[in-house]
Amino acid sequence: MVNSNIAFQKPGFGGGNTGGGVGTGVSSHDALTGVKMAGAGITSGHINDQAQTIAGVKTFSDFPITPSTAPTTDFQAVNKKYVDDNKGLKSVSNTDVDLGTTVIDSFSDTTCEACHWHYVIKNGANLRSGQIMAVWDASSDEIAYNEVSTSDIGDTSSLSFEVNIDSNNLRLLATATSDNWIVKAKRIQI
């Protein structure tokens, strides 16, 4: 259907409208030239603020902005913030853990019931990689956790991990007996 409020030039013709035969011989959008914006109230052929179905693959040169509200039904789009804030994979790190205890990660203990952190620690040529698994009951603050790791390259015995609950927040803690540790981890909430 060609809307009479949209003017375009047929391929192979000079000038603007061809008059009388607007749209004759044009079979695709790629063949249109000299297209003008549709007038107010015209909904055929352009995107407006009403519900519409748009078929075909669309390529965006920039990331589209999605709603800031959380999705409520299957197949609704989500944004990075929603994924980061919810049961997804999240990067956590501290590139300067010094003497004492440092909070590496913290989140509400009601967000999920279990968490795994895949980590690597480094201080100069001293390295270790591993996984910390934790499960808890938010109503009683009862918690159980375990760590499994590689053997050390060098000596990493001066950095240890603990998982606890403090003020309804689950926390991954690193305790160091020396300075300048780098801790990088990926959190998976379950």
Domain of residue 117, CATH code:
2.60.40.1680
- Whether 79 is covered by a domain: the verdict is no
Q: What confidence category does residue 173 fall into, taking pLDDT thresholds of 50, 70 and 90?
A: very high
- Whether 119 is covered by a domain: the verdict is yes
- Whether 50 is covered by a domain: the verdict is no
- Whether 45 is covered by a domain: the verdict is no
CB atoms within 10 A of CB 102: 17
> Are 162 and 175 in contact, with CB atoms under 8 Å apart?
yes
Find the DSSP H helices in the chain.
80-85
- Whether 164 is covered by a domain: the verdict is yes
**Whole-number pLDDT of residue 66:** 83
**Mean pLDDT lowest for which of 12-21, 91-100, 138-147, 164-173?**
12-21
> Do 35 and 95 reside in the same domain of the chain?
no
- Helix, strand, coil content of the chain in percent (nearest 5): 5, 40, 55
> Are 149 and 128 in contact, with CB atoms under 8 Å apart?
yes
**Whole-number pLDDT of residue 147:** 98
> Do 95 and 182 reside in the same domain of the chain?
yes
> Are 103 and 81 in contact, with CB atoms under 8 Å apart?
no
As for how many domains the chain has, the answer is 2
> Do 115 and 185 reside in the same domain of the chain?
yes
> Do 108 and 167 reside in the same domain of the chain?
yes
Element containing residue 142 per DSSP (H, E): strand 142-149
Q: Which domain holds residue 23?
A: 1-39
- Whether 143 is covered by a domain: the verdict is yes
**Whole-number pLDDT of residue 11:** 46
Sheet architecture: strand order including 169-176: 100-108, 169-176, 159-166
> Do 31 and 93 reside in the same domain of the chain?
no
57 φ, ψ (degrees, to nearest 5): -75, 135
**pTM of the predicted structure, to 2 decimals:** 0.59
> Are 33 and 11 in contact, with CB atoms under 8 Å apart?
yes
- Whether 53 is covered by a domain: the verdict is no
